[in-house]
């Protein structure tokens, strides 16, 4: 799964790396412990303006047809294998796909009765994109835009920590994933695979990250296990 991640890269650099056309230069501040229900950075295709937009959406997808938001569960993840068939995700999978920008994420391994956190990132430290889905909910003048992150089977690096991992979309596949003209799961399933083991590294970090109100560089500082 993916329940916490980081993004410390500035919006202008995200825009440059991922060909974003529309963004606010001060839209992002360094985040070391992004948690569910918070606003998270996504790239989506804006059909009205004909380009990629960087937006902040609430993490925890709420379909447009929900009547009462307060009773709806926080859907932070969706299984890539079945999202296209599940009522909560199938419309977004066909029509509202996005890329969730991150430069690392956390997983926990059980060790001697405690949970040891690990920070996973690219060897070069550069940002990357999770496969995401987004929704627009509106009732009586209230609007909520929300999103979820797709997960797949863990690769060899992540498997000792958790059986699932976020889908990380390769840069050459970003255009296909965001293409509003592509709607079928069959045309997209090749993207929804575990990342090769050697494209991430995992570093043990302190339990400081366990608290969601801790959001500074100490969250990602490696420790000696």
Q: How confident is the model over 104-144, as pLDDT tens digits?
A: 999 999 888 889 999 999 999 999 999 999 999 998 888 99
pTM above 0.85, yes or no: yes
pLDDT score of 157 = 97
pLDDT for 225 beyond 80: no
| Overall domain count for the chain | 1
On whether residue 221 sits in a domain, the answer given is no
Q: Tell me, letter by letter, the H, E, C secondary structure of 142-193.
A: EEEEEEEEEEEECCCCCCCCCCEEECECCHHHHHHHHCCCCCCHHHCHHHCC
* Mean pLDDT across the chain: 95
Q: Which residues are catalytic?
A: 2, 107
On whether residue 52 sits in a domain, the answer given is yes
- According to DSSP, the β-strands at 114-121 and 97-102 are unpaired
pLDDT score of 141 = 86
pLDDT for 1 beyond 80: no
Q: Give the integer Cα–Cα distance in Å for 129 and 75.
A: 19
On whether residue 215 sits in a domain, the answer given is no
Question: What's the rounded mean pLDDT across residues 168-190?
Answer: 96
Question: What's the rounded mean pLDDT across residues 47-63?
Answer: 95
pLDDT score of 2 = 85
pLDDT score of 7 = 96
pLDDT score of 176 = 97
On whether residue 137 sits in a domain, the answer given is yes
Q: Is 124 helix (H, G, I), strand (E, B) or coil?
A: coil
- Full domain range(s) for residue 66: 5-114+124-199
């Amino acid at each position: 799964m993916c329940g916490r991640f980081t993004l410390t890269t500035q919006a202008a650099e995200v825009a440059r790396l991922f060909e974003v056309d529309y963004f606010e230069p001060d839209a992002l501040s360094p985040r070391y412990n992004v948690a569910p229900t918070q606003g998270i950075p996504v790239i989506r295709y804006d059909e009205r303006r004909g380009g990629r937009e960087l937006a902040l959406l609430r993490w925890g997808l709420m379909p447009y047809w929900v009547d009462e938001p307060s009773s709806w569960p926080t859907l932070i993840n969706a299984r890539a294998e079945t999202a296209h068939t599940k009522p909560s995700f199938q419309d977004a999978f066909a029509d509202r796909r996005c890329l969730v920008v991150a430069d690392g994420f956390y997983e926990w391994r059980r060790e001697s009765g405690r949970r040891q956190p690990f920070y996973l990132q690219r060897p070069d430290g550069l940002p990357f994109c999770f496969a995401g889905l987004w929704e627009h909910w509106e009732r009586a003048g209230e609007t909520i835009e929300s999103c979820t992150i797709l997960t797949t089977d863990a690769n060899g690096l992540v498997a000792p920590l958790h059986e699932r991992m976020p889908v990380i979309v390769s840069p050459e596949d970003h255009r296909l994933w965001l293409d509003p003209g592509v709607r079928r799961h069959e045309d997209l399933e090749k993207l929804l695979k575990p990342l090769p083991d050697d494209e991430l590294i995992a570093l043990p970090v302190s339990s400081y990250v366990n608290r969601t109100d801790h959001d500074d560089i100490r969250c990602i500082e490696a420790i000696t296990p």
